[in-house]
Amino acid sequence: MSRSLRILWDDKLTSYDFGPTHPLNPVRVELTMALARDHGVLDHPNVEVAGFAAAGDDLIGLVHDPGYIAAVKRAGGTGSPELAHGLGSPDNPVFPGMHEAAALVTGASVAAAEAVWSGEAEHAANVAGGLHHAMRDSASGFCVYNDPAIAIAWLLENGARRVAYVDVDVHHGDGVQAAFFDDPRVLTISLHEGPHTLFPGTGHSHETDTAGTAVNVALPPGTGDAAWLRAFHAVVPPLLRAFDPEILVTQHGCDSHALDPLAHLSLTVDGQRAAYEALHGLAHEITGGRWVLTGGGGYELVHVVPRAWTHLLAEAAGRPIDPATPTPDSWREFVRRRTGQNAPQRMTDRAAGQEPPTTDVKSWADGYDPASRLDQAVLATRRAVFPEHGLDPLTET
């Protein structure tokens, strides 16, 4: 009998480490797994924590050039930059064993895809994955190998005819888009802060292909829960229903949070949790529950990432955690010992007795506000891609 959720995990995943001063600190996934464990998420009878093999060169080569793979190996072995391939930059400093660490992250995401595609698990997760910026021949944006793109390429190699990828990271999922641009078998949807104010400077609504399968929602800085969810529901469900994918792959960077130090959106953990619930529901509605989920960005290491991704795993397990639930004493003590910081007291951003931040969504069907920067962004996306899917940009929901 298949499990509802397989979590791919090995402590060695924390070896993907650019150093103690780099924003992408692997302590965030260590704290996530500890919080999920202390909340009992990993102990549910329908949840399995499983090992996996590192990705080999042939697998990585589904997306990356052989010369680039060789450069990653050289850089990780010698410690010398390979600047022509983006290795040794401030964003992507060289570290020992870089190839092995990145291949391990990739192996976990491919194992998640394989578990779901084979029917061994309904959902599968790699919270250490989601390295969506890596390009065919270069590292970019803290990403060495593009594990979600490689997982999608593996699915296509193994018989998938339609794969949908939804990316809710605050940064544009440019590497995954580039890997499948003009491939009508893959629908990529990225909701992100607009390119005028944030790396990588791409992801305009007009960046699409002839089939309308590259979809970008460029959100204005300051977008909060209700507005973000309005954009999500105005774009993602109608496109997924029209595309009718066989499997859903999602990237869950939680750097859209108001506390994230690298970006400028204003979501709460509660709003992010609502997005996870929506994607889970869409997986069951459209793909028969076949759902592969990864982590992604997230640079507030204690107060945001562990809670957001524990909510994600709990939602995928079908055992969502009440936001009012206190964080376990054991976890808070672990955080103090591990980081020297005081951990959040509860699984919500609201104070005790305070009403939750609103995640009520004003439906697109209720009308478009031409004075709203958010509605302008959403309409631009809908106009760019909805007609290619037989959908009306103004009315379809």
Q: What is the pLDDT of residue 359?
A: 63
Q: What is the pLDDT of residue 25?
A: 98
Span 180-199, average pLDDT: 98
Q: Are 364 and 378 in contact (CB under 8 A)?
A: yes
- Digit-coded pLDDT (tens) for 255-273: 999 999 999 999 999 999 9
What average pLDDT does the chain have? Answer: 96
pLDDT band at 350 (very low <50, low <70, confident <90, very high): confident
| The residue type at 126 | N
Q: What is the pLDDT of residue 352?
A: 63
Q: Is the pLDDT of residue 318 over 50?
A: yes
- Digit-coded pLDDT (tens) for 18-72: 999 999 999 999 999 999 999 999 999 999 999 999 999 999 999 999 999 999 9
pLDDT band at 3 (very low <50, low <70, confident <90, very high): low
- Digit-coded pLDDT (tens) for 100-157: 999 999 999 999 999 999 999 999 999 999 999 999 999 999 999 999 999 999 999 9
Span 308-322, average pLDDT: 97
Q: What is the pLDDT of residue 1?
A: 34
Q: Is the pLDDT of residue 232 over 70?
A: yes
The sign of the dihedral angle between the CA atoms of 251, 252, 255, 257 is: positive
Q: What is the pLDDT of residue 377?
A: 98
Span 321-328, average pLDDT: 97
Provide the annotated active-site residues: 133
CA distance 361 to 375: 13
Q: Are 228 and 256 in contact (CB under 8 A)?
A: yes
